[in-house]
Amino acid sequence: MKLAEVKKLQEQTFEFLQKAHIAITSREKENIEIADFGLNDIAHVGLQLVVYIDTDRYCAKELVLFPRQFCPEHRHPDIDETRPGKQETFRCRWGEVYLYVEGEPTPEPAAKIPEEYLPYLNVWKEIVLTPGEQYTLAPNTRHWFQAGDRGAIVSEFSSTNTDEYDIFTDPNIRRIPVIE
């Protein structure tokens, strides 16, 4: 992804946060991460992140999703014998988000996913989160999520961020962004 596009998406993300009355500092604005997962289809696949804190004990961040943008299916595996994978709680702050986890598939899910990504989505138990609602995922749980028609902002509270170890169902995904 080109730097000019990153800057444009950072500004758009900032506008979403303002709409939701979520204040961030100018430094946080400059450091908004644009995650396109290496697929170069940010309008459909990706998310924008504001990391507030990430230590060896816990992490807190905002996940901003534009209308119908989705974060692909993945899980947070154990790091080693002594360190479990990331446990995370998603709390919807604005908009609506459809979270999909392991379990009995929802008969008519609300997700609208481009056809080419469907083969990589295997968990379809739907949890709808609206502002104030939250859901906690245990480590190593396969999950993915999509914003509703207006977009969504989700606060993530988790154990230490271990995104570099994430295992995605789609083998084409690169979690850490590359900026040209």
Bridge partners, 98 (sequence order):
128, 146
Q: Which domain holds residue 125?
A: 52-168
Is position 5 within any domain?
Answer: no
Q: What is the pLDDT of residue 164?
A: 84
The residue type of 67 is: P
Is position 135 within any domain?
Answer: yes
Q: What is the pLDDT of residue 180?
A: 64
Per residue in 90-137, pLDDT (tens digit) is 999 999 999 999 999 999 999 999 999 999 999 999 999 999 999 999
Is position 98 within any domain?
Answer: yes
Is position 103 within any domain?
Answer: yes
Closest to 179 (Cα-Cα) out of 26, 35, 50, 69? 35
Is position 179 within any domain?
Answer: no
DSSP 42: T
Is position 145 within any domain?
Answer: yes
CATH number reported for the structural domain that contains residue 92 in this entry: 2.60.120.10
pTM for the full predicted model: 0.94
Is position 72 within any domain?
Answer: yes
Per residue in 159-175, pLDDT (tens digit) is 998 888 899 999 999 87
Evaluate whether 72 touches 168 at the Cβ level (below 8 Å): yes
DSSP 129: E
Total structural domains within the chain: 1
Q: How confident is the model at residue 177 (pLDDT cuts 50, 70, 90)?
A: low
Q: Is 86 helix (H, G, I), strand (E, B) or coil?
A: coil
Is position 81 within any domain?
Answer: yes
Residue tagged 């939250």 (tokens): 134
37-to-25, 90, 143 alpha-carbon distances in Å: 25, 20, 15
